[in-house]
Amino acid sequence: MVDLEQAGHHVEDATSFHLPLGAHIDLPEVFGLQLTKFMVLELVAAGLMVAIFVPLARRIRTGEPVRGRFANLMEAMLLFLRDEVARPAIGRHDADRYLPYIFTVFFFILFCNLLGLVPWLGSPTGAISCTAGLAAIAFVTAVGSGMKRFGPGGFFKNLVPHMDLPVVLAVFLIPMIMSIEFLGICIKHTVLAVRLLANIFAGHLVLAVILGFVAYFAHSASWYGVMPASVLGAVGLSLLELLVAFLQAYVFTFLSALFIGMAIHPH
């Protein structure tokens, strides 16, 4: 049986990068804070976003037409997020105000997922600290947007549907329904974190286990049959993980936009 603990090293955070032939790069402490592999990869994802989209934004702002296949691909993805995610979920009138958040969260998650497909790196979205942070930002954005529009009292009031209740029942039912609805909002954002974590973590763990069979049967005659099957299975699963990288970024972004829309358009 494959050593699952050993395979798990490929999907967990670390204070160093393990490279081929036993080499590794130890990460330093910065102002007393220990850098980790996922922290560095998150900075790499942010740096890639700046390197790609700042020049693209400058070119669009000047009215210069976008040139090149890659630039056109990025522009097409931005238009898709605007027209098929933000505006349907938030509303055409309000959606454009939230486009910076929508664009940022989608591409940050996407780049983190894609970095996880590079050998000897890892996917930060396979750690609960990253996905919980993203879900917390989505929660603050959604609830904060609702409170900004209606005020704290108006936001909580909108959680309760209009009901003609006697005063005696209203005193007990309205706070109860309000508490349940707000708890539901918290649970929805918690599920955002868990869904992204589970899909990325599970995919990488299964991939590590499949490749682990090659090493496990290295000294066995079965290796000649196991090795091709494992490699082909890993290639097929990697292609599936490429689809999952885009799909999970889309799902997280769409649900975040939907929660914002629900907060600012309660009815």
Does 29 reside within a domain? no
> Does residue 24 lie in a domain region?
no
CB 37, CB 122: distance < 8 Å? yes
Query: Is residue 26 domain-resident?
Result: no
Instruction: Name the least confident of 83-92, 126-135, 216-225.
Output: 216-225
Alpha carbon distance 247, 38 (integer Å): 21
* Assigned domain for 27 exists: no
What percent of the chain stands above pLDDT 70? 94
Q: Give domain status of residue 256, yes or no.
A: yes
pLDDT at 3: 44
Residue 218 lies inside a defined structural domain of this protein: yes
- Classify residue 8: in a domain, yes or no: yes
Amino acid at 232: L
Q: What is the mean pLDDT of residues 30-39?
A: 85
pLDDT tens for 221-246 read: 777 777 788 888 878 888 888 899 99
Report which of residues 96 and 229 the model is more confident about.
96
Q: What is the pTM of this model?
A: 0.88
Q: Show the domain range for 157.
A: 4-19+34-264
Q: Number of structural domains, the chain?
A: 1
CB atoms within 10 A of CB 67: 9
What pLDDT, on the 0 to 100 scale, is given for residue 82?
Answer: 94
Q: Determine, yes or no, domain membership for 131.
A: yes
